[in-house]
Amino acid sequence: MRKSMRIILSVWILCSSILVSGQSVKMDQKNGKWQLLVNNQPFFIKGVVGHTYLEKVKAYGGNSVRIGSGKEELDKAYQLGLKALVNLPANAERYGFDYNNPEAIRKQTEKIIEIVRKTKDHPAVLMWAIGNELDFIPPDKPFNPKVWDAVNEAAKAIKAVDLNHPVMTVIGTSQMQKVADIVKRCPDLDLLGINTYGDIYTLPETLKKFGWQKPFLISEWGPDGYWEVRKTEWGAPYEQTGREKYDCYEKKYRKAIESGNCLGSYVFYWFNKQETTHTWFSMFDEKGMETPLPGLMNELWTGKRPENVAPIVDSLNIDQFVRYHDIRLKAGSNHQAKVMASDADGDQISYKWEIRPEAVYASYAGQGEKEPQPISGLIQAQKASISFTVPKEKGAYRLFVYAFDKEHFSSANLPFLVE
């Protein structure tokens, strides 16, 4: 009796250990469409990029987060019932890494495997991502295809120690002919992660064109990028208004993600950041106040409208000028501006206006880009219609407007040149 009880107890402990730490994650193709399976249950990724406000990810119907391999991050995700796409540190040649150097590649692969060994049994882990946009290089430098050889070497090494979590790398959508190279050089990858913005709708056809037959997920998406939109004569890109971003996110999710042939997606950016402007990709402000976009994702993920939604800025003009006019103003002159905004709940809207210098653009993803600060003393009121004074120094600027209810805000801006 004691012996049989010991056997039963041992089996129970073993099974419990597997359930807690061992996650079986795989992909299956059914009727020509791929699906992700976690412990044999379908799992469509409803994820975010970022490690902040994770409680809201869970509360709003999300189920995954794209983060690093730190234990604290993973523990937090697990406590909330979120699965993690774990970023593994593969360096890029744009930062000086040399993929012609076998010793450097060996050390990088060893570091990756060290992380995988240490992390693979964490119950939050969903899959591994080797690097981020290793394909992106400055336009004046040639791409080194040995990058993909190193990625495949790392993928093979990961599988030697962990067969329970799929392995991918993440690419951008510039020069998609590189996919043919990945097909040839990376047979050990299980899937592909794509960072995509304006070209999200044509992604399945593009991947098929260049021979990709395995699954893919959208590892980053959001508004139309500053590299994709029209610009002023002096090179300032026109940012979408709050309304346009809302419609853009909804259309991309419904048309390209929810009804597409991908395994799900990670929306960008579940926090705030400076990249061309401080509002371009930010779904929150620096104090944690929400734009309309987290509420939209709540509705898209759950099918239920939030109890209270954000106001939305529809349009903005300076005098008779609207977007796509090259707005040139005389230094020190006075002008009028007006915003059109609405709130579906009928909440009272308050306004805030700012004039900021145009940012000095960074070479890649806003890294190292400093957020220009507002210039004081130029705005005469904080209403839907205002008067403002043009800065006295020549150069490129933007007029920003924010529409607030008690919990949310929406924004828009117009670039102008002081002559």
Instruction: Quote the mean pLDDT of the chain.
Output: 93
Residue 261, pLDDT score: 86
Other Cβ atoms closer than 10 A to 89? 13
**Long-range contacts for 324-328 (Cβ within 8 Å, ≥24 apart)?**
324/230, 324/238, 326/232, 326/233, 326/234, 326/417, 327/232, 327/414, 327/415, 327/416, 327/417, 328/416, 328/417, 328/419
Other C-beta atoms within 10 Å of 52: how many?
15
Please give the model's pTM, rounded to 2 decimal places.
0.93
Distance in angstroms (rounded) separating the CA atoms of residues 166 and 83: 13
Amino acid in position 254: R
Q: For residue 62, is pLDDT > 60?
A: yes
- pLDDT at 11 > cutoff 80: no
Q: Decide: 159 and 188 in contact? Cβ < 8 Å.
A: yes
> Which amino acid is present at 160?
A
| Beta-bridge mates of residue 86 | 67, 128
| Span of 14-23, 33-42, 221-230 with lowest mean pLDDT | 14-23
Mean pLDDT calculated for residue range 28-34:
90
Split at pLDDT 50, 70, 90, the class of 5 is very low
Nearest of 245, 215, 222 to residue 314 by alpha carbon? 245
Which residues, at least 6 apart from 321, have a Cβ–Cβ distance to it below 8 Å?
Answer: 327, 414, 416
pLDDT at 4 over 80: no
Quickly state the pLDDT bin for 22 (edges 50, 70, 90): low
Instruction: Tell me the three state secondary structure of residue 5.
Output: helix
Q: Which residue has the higher pLDDT, 60 or 7?
A: 60
CATH numbers and ranges of domains, the chain: 21-302 (3.20.20.80), 312-418 (2.60.40.10)
Q: How far apart are CA 270 and CA 224, in angstroms?
A: 16
- Note the pLDDT tens digit of each residue in 326-375: 999 999 999 999 999 999 999 999 999 999 999 998 778 888 899 999 99
Annotate 114-123 with b (16+ C-beta within 10 A) or e (fewer).
Answer: ebbeebbebe
What Rg do the C-alpha atoms of the chain give, in angstroms?
A: 24
Query: What is residue 253's DSSP assignment?
Result: I
Q: Say whether 78 sits in a helix, a strand or coil.
A: helix
Contact call for residues 127 and 170 (beta carbons, < 8 A): no
> What pLDDT band is residue 52 in, cutting at 50, 70 and 90?
very high
Tell me the mean pLDDT in the region 133-143. Answer: 88
Q: Find the largest Cα–Cα distance for the chain.
A: 94
Amino acid found at 114: E
- The string of pLDDT tens digits covering residues 210-249 is 999 999 999 999 999 999 999 999 999 999 999 999 999 9
Q: Which residue has the higher pLDDT, 134 or 32?
A: 134
**pLDDT confidence of 39, banded at 50, 70, 90?**
very high
Query: Which pLDDT does position 173 carry in this prediction?
Result: 94
Q: How far apart are CA 88 and CA 139, in angstroms?
A: 25
What percent of the chain lies above the pLDDT cut of 70? Answer: 95
Q: Which token pair is 332?
A: 């020190």
**Where does the pLDDT of residue 13 fall: very low under 50, low under 70, confident under 90, or very high at 90 and above?**
very low
pLDDT at position 8 over 50: no
pLDDT at 392 over 70: yes
For residues 254-261, give the mean pLDDT. 91
